[in-house]
A and B are shown apart, each in its own frame.
Chain A
Amino acid sequence: EDQVTQSPEALRLQEGESSSLNCSYTVSGLRGLFWYRQDPGKGPEFLFTLYSAGEEKEKERLKATLTKKESFLHITAPKPEDSATYLCAVQVRTEYGNKLVFGAGTILRVKS
């Protein structure tokens, strides 16, 4: 069965304290790994897509990397506005078409 596991479940950082979130996966036939940000009471907001091991993508203070078994979301010098739940999802192929399988998310709190 396709599985996505995110760690830690929750992370508290001081402003400026860099860290990484982990997303490990076991899937049959990965067709992309996605990172989303979700603020309370809102829908997930797309951040990155990674398709192959070794690929990296950056956006402001965030950098996503991908290996054959996991992805990391690195947060450099975070600010309070980076506080959110970060969701990882893998796209897998089914007989009906592609679908996203989500992890449970990492709740990030950045204190000033």
Chain B
Amino acid sequence: DTAVSQTPKYLVTQMGNDKSIKCEQNLGHDTMYWYKQDSKKFLKIMFSYNNKELIINETVPNRFSPKSPDKAHLNLHINSLELGDSAVYFCASRPGLAGGSSYNEQFFGPGTRLTVL
């Protein structure tokens, strides 16, 4: 299946721990994103990478560090987890110019529900 996949689906952890969320897309897209969806359902962009290069870094605490080992992967590492980090995190990708008329359409992964206790 061609898609954006994320692991794990659920992540429950204690305050102060360090955790990672992995994202992979096999769509051949150029650009990848991390979004946070809070309890009020607002989706907010956190980071954007284009061809492994960081493009957008919104006002996110530096405890959050994205890493893109190659164009198909964008992982999110979170240090010293806090209660307020509890949310659903979505990875997304976009074709870019190679996508023709679809170049701006973002395809989202299934999300990772992070619960910090």
Residues of A within 8 A of B (CB): 32, 34, 36, 41-46, 49, 85, 87, 89, 91, 94, 96-102, 104-105
Contact = CB atoms under 8 A, between A and B. Distances in A.
B105 interface: yes
Contacts of B63: none
B4 A43 contact: yes
Nearest to B57: A96
A104 B42 contact: yes
Nearest to A9: B41
B41 A43 contact: no
Contacts of B45: 99-101
Contacts of B40: 104
A65 B4 CA distance: 28
A101 to B, nearest CB: 8
B56 A43 contact: no
A97 B49 CA distance: 10
29 contacts: A32-B104, A36-B108, A41-B110, A41-B111, A42-B110, A42-B111, A43-B109, A43-B110, A44-B90, A45-B108, A46-B106, A46-B107, A85-B41, A91-B104, A94-B56, A96-B48, A96-B55, A96-B56, A96-B57, A97-B48, A97-B55, A97-B56, A98-B104, A99-B45, A99-B58, A100-B106, A102-B43, A102-B44, A104-B40
Interface in B22-62: 40-45, 48, 50, 55-58
Given A43-B108, A44-B108, A46-B105, A99 B56 contact: yes
Contacts of A85: 41
A44 B104 contact: no
Contacts of B56: 94, 96-97, 99
B43 A44 contact: yes
B111 A105 contact: no
Interface in B56-82: 56-58
B107 A102 contact: no
A41 B109 CA distance: 11
Contact of B104 (A42, A49, A87, A101): A49
Contacts of A49: 104-105
